[in-house]
């Protein structure tokens, strides 16, 4: 199922309610979440399209969080699809990641192992001695 | 025309890989049937932004959610826990957390020590050389000298970094005087044979895109294939065949195009996990004189306690993998109101979507709107969890059967699970959750959330073809040889008499090594079809 332009317009309004911007983070509108970010989500999670379209069709008149809550109560699966789509589209956006200080699941050097401080933390553990139960 | 092999192995996961490599190295012909396919490292999304999205479907551990034709569906309507698995070369290890724990000495002596369940036919000391053997193959990283083990559970490679999360958790445990230890993981901290060194990406549970996590497709299959093993992918076994004397004579399998084939074999080894193995035995009507095939299913009920902290812990950084473990409350203390215990593992919180899962049960206005931003700012990178693996004791009513109204993509009956968490286990988890909350408080958590039983937690599938000396009360002998069918073997976790409270892959592989080496040593006297 492909989302219609009307579905996307509805989703933009719902996303604006859910992600209004604040605490140094951009709004859903600021990143045009209903456009390319949503396309990226649906490309990797096409199973969301059906319930998302259904939810948007039923929520055309939602104008506030109370209305969104009522729509969510009426279609839990549809709202779950909306929440997954909005959340993932938002947090995949580079400007959002930058705002929250998240570099993504980046590669780091694991060969550093335990530090001297870590070994000091371990000292009382091995000083307490054997923990295992003799069979 | 009938194909023929000396040994047919069903399943290419950790136990099947161990069995195949040992057999082919001993000059014995092996054909392995794997219903899934090869999964290259590039297929995993860990290094891509879509990582958190695709783990909800493509890389979800529950086959019912993935819905791929090479997996089989599972009827879980009568189960408190969903079994988790993955069909592919390397099996469910492809998406396991690589938490590498030996069972404790007491785990093999549950009847003698606590008066419940059964003792194993062998003990920790018997298995210790096999642990060491498979740990070399898997490139296990850890810190030697763990006082939770009699020999300190040495590992071939030094531990992975514990990072800010580990230090915070460890400080809390030290304030309480409780045991903790740097996590041991089947993830090399240095280059190791065909494995790349870990890069702490923290996406182990959805597949390692860096070729670092020890999975059989990297640790065992290249050598097994180079030595002549034959591995058939997209090959789902329908049933085991027997001859007039009741000996296994081979298997019938179906390819992805639906064509059926017969593979004749002198020996058949089942390594299809604690659900797939009894499914196949039941479908074949074999090895069930005791009536215990499929019964005594153990899946390790799992609870979590998540803490939020004021300071930046970079809690998306791996390994995931386990950063720390604790065995403080592992052993039985009857004054607690339950028998046996649980192991804890400290885990990072993951990406910005992952941390939200632990706090997602409130009203909508708590999760979205202005609260969305406030909570993200307060929580992201500042959370971790203690996971609690409780030992569930065997119960004959927890079982695998064949469904009469659900089939896989080849029309074969799917497994139906009946599984209830016992009162003993619920009391155990309640106790451990309360202690883990104390550990979080001691570490300085400003908010704590708990999940007392996660439904999608059935990673550890054990007990459904139990080993023992008496054919009336067990399915196999101590080496996995079926009492009723002497050339039919089980070498996965199905044979485990009890489950311990530890992640079982280390023990599954060690027991498989012990079993297959015995098979090789005794093959001259083996009855074959």
Provide the residue range defining the domain that includes B146: 3-42+56-525
- Residue B336, CA atoms < 13 Å, CB-side half-sphere: 22
Percentage of the residues of chain A whose pLDDT score is greater than 70: 100
Environment class of residue A54 by beta-carbon count within 10 Å: exposed (0-12), middle (13-18) or buried (19+)? Answer: middle
Residue pair B180/B146 in contact by the 8 Å Cβ criterion = no
Q: What angle do CA B207, B208, B211 make, to 5 degrees?
A: 140
pLDDT exceeds cutoff 60 at B96: yes
Quick check: B376 and A112 CB within 8 A? no
Residues B492-506 have a mean pLDDT of 98
Average pLDDT, chain A: 96
- The whole-angstrom distance between A4's CA and the closest CA on chain B is 22
Nearest CA in chain B to A127: B147
Over residues A46-73, the mean pLDDT reads: 96
pLDDT for res B355: 55
Could you read off the pLDDT of A93-127 as tens digits, one per residue? 999 999 999 999 999 999 999 999 999 999 999 99
Interval B31-49 mean pLDDT: 97
Question: Average pLDDT for residues B45-53, to the nearest whole number?
Answer: 96
State whether B365 and A69 contact (CB < 8 Å): yes
Q: What's the gap in Å between the CA of B52 and the closest CA on chain A?
A: 8
| Among the partner residues A47, A65, A135, nearest to B365 by beta-carbon distance | A65
The count of other CB atoms within 10 Å of the CB of residue A117 is: 9
- Does B421 fall in a domain? yes
* Best to test chain B binding among A47, A86, A135 (most B CBs inside 10 Å): A135
Residue B49 lies inside a defined structural domain of this protein: no
The proportion of chain B whose per-residue pLDDT surpasses 90, expressed as a percent, equals 95
Q: How confident is the model at residue B153 (pLDDT cuts 50, 70, 90)?
A: confident
A34 with A15: CB under 8 angstroms? yes
Separation CA B85–CA B91 (nearest Å): 7
Complex ipTM value: 0.97
B141: its two tokens:
């990283």
Q: Do the chains contact at B159 and A114, CB–CB below 8 Å?
A: yes
**Could you count the other beta carbons within 10 Å of the beta carbon of residue B217?**
23
Cross-chain Cβ contact A45/B198 below 8 Å: no
Domain count, chain B: 1
What stretches of chain A show up as alpha helix (H) in DSSP?
A: 5-18, 36-44, 49-58, 65-74, 76-92, 94-100, 116-128
Tokens of B172: 């809390």
DSSP string of A106-133, one letter each residue: -----TT-S-HHHHHHHHHHHHH---PP
**Residue A129 pLDDT exceeds 80:** yes
- Show Cβ contacts of residue B240 under 8 Å, excluding neighbours closer than 6 positions: B248, B250, B251, B268, B280, B281, B284, B286, B488
- Smallest CA–CA separation between A25 and chain B, in Å? 7
Query: How do residues B253-275 score in pLDDT, each as one tens digit?
Result: 999 999 999 999 999 999 999 99
Q: Report which of B89, B74, B71 is spatially closest to residue B409, judged by C-alpha positions.
A: B71
CATH of the domain at B139: 3.50.50.60
Residue B401: inside a domain: yes
Percent of chain B having pLDDT more than 70? 98
**B48 in a domain, yes or no?**
no
Kindly tell me if the per-residue pLDDT of B325 is higher than 80: yes
**B53 contacts on A by Cβ (under 8 Å):** 41, 44-45, 84, 88, 92
Task: Give residue B362's pLDDT band: very low, low, confident or very high (50, 70, 90).
Answer: low
pLDDT per residue as tens digits for the range B73-95: 999 999 999 999 999 999 999 99
């Amino acid at each position: 199922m492909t989302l219609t332009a009307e579905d996307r317009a509805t989703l933009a309004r719902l996303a604006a309610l859910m992600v209004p911007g604040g605490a140094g983070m951009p709004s859903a509108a600021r990143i045009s979440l209903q456009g390319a970010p949503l396309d990226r989500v649906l490309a990797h999670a096409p199973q969301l399209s059906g319930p998302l379209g259904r939810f948007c069709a039923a929520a055309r008149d939602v104008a506030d969080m109370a209305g969104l809550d009522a729509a969510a109560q009426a279609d839990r699966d549809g709202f779950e699809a909306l929440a997954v789509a909005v959340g993932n589209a938002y947090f995949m956006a580079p400007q959002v990641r930058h705002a929250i200080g998240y570099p993504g699941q980046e590669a780091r050097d694991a060969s550093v192992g335990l530090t001297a401080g870590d070994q000091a933390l371990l000292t009382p553990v091995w000083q307490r001695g054997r923990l295992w139960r003799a069979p | 025309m009938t194909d023929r092999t000396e040994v047919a192995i069903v399943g290419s996961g950790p136990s099947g890989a161990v069995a195949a490599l040992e057999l082919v190295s001993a000059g014995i012909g092996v054909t392995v049937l794997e219903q899934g396919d090869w999964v290259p490292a590039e297929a995993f999304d860990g290094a891509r932004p879509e990582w958190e999205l695709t783990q909800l479907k493509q890389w979800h551990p529950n086959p019912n959610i993935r819905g791929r034709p090479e997996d089989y569906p599972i009827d879980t309507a009568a189960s408190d826990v969903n079994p988790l698995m993955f069909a592919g070369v390397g099996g469910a290890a492809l998406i396991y957390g690589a938490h590498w724990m030996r069972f404790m000495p007491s785990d093999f002596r549950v009847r003698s020590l606590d008066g419940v369940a059964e003792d194993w036919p062998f003990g920790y000391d018997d298995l210790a050389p096999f642990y060491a053997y498979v740990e070399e193959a898997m490139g296990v990283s850890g810190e030697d000298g763990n006082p939770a083990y009699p020999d300190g559970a040495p590992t071939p490679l030094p531990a992975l970094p514990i990072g800010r999360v580990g230090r915070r958790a460890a400080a809390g445990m030290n304030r309480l005087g409780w045991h903790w230890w740097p996590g041991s993981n089947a993830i090399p901290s240095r280059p190791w044979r065909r494995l790349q060194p870990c890069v702490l990406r923290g996406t182990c549970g959805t597949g390692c895109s860096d070729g670092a996590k020890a999975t059989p497709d990297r640790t065992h299959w290249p050598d097994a294939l180079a030595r002549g093993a034959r591995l058939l992918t997209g090959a789902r076994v329908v049933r085991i065949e027997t001859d007039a004397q009741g000996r296994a004579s081979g298997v019938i399998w179906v390819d992805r195009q639906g064509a059926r084939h017969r593979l004749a074999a002198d020996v058949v080894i089942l390594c299809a996990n604690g659900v797939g193995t009894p499914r196949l035995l039941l479908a074949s009507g074999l090895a069930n004189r005791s009536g215990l095939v499929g019964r005594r299913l153990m899946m390790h009920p799992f609870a979590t306690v998540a803490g939020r902290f004021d300071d930046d812990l970079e809690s998306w950084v791996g390994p995931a993998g386990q950063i720390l473990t604790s065995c403080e409350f592992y052993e039985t203390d009857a004054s607690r109101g339950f028998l046996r215990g649980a192991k804890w593992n400290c885990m990072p919180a993951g990406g910005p979507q992952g941390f939200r899962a632990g706090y997602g049960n409130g009203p909508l206005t708590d999760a979205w709107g202005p609260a969305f931003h406030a909570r993200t700012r307060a929580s992201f990178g500042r959370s971790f969890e203690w996971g609690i693996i409780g030992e569930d004791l065997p119960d004959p009513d927890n079982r695998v059967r064949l469904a009469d109204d659900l089939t896989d993509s080849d029309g074969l009956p799917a497994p139906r699970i009946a599984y209830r968490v016992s009162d003993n286990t619920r009391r155990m988890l309640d106790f451990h959750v309360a202690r883990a909350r104390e550990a979080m408080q001691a570490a300085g958590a400003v908010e704590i959330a708990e999940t007392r039983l996660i439904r999608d937690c059935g990673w550890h599938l054990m007990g459904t073809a139990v080993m023992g000396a008496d054919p009336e009360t067990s399915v196999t002998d101590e080496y996995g040889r079926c009492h009723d069918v002497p050339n039919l073997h089980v070498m996965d976790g199905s044979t485990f008499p009890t489950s311990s409270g530890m992640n079982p892959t280390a023990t599954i592989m060690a027991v498989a090594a012990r079993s297959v080496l015995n098979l090789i040593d005794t093959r001259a006297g083996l009855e074959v079809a």
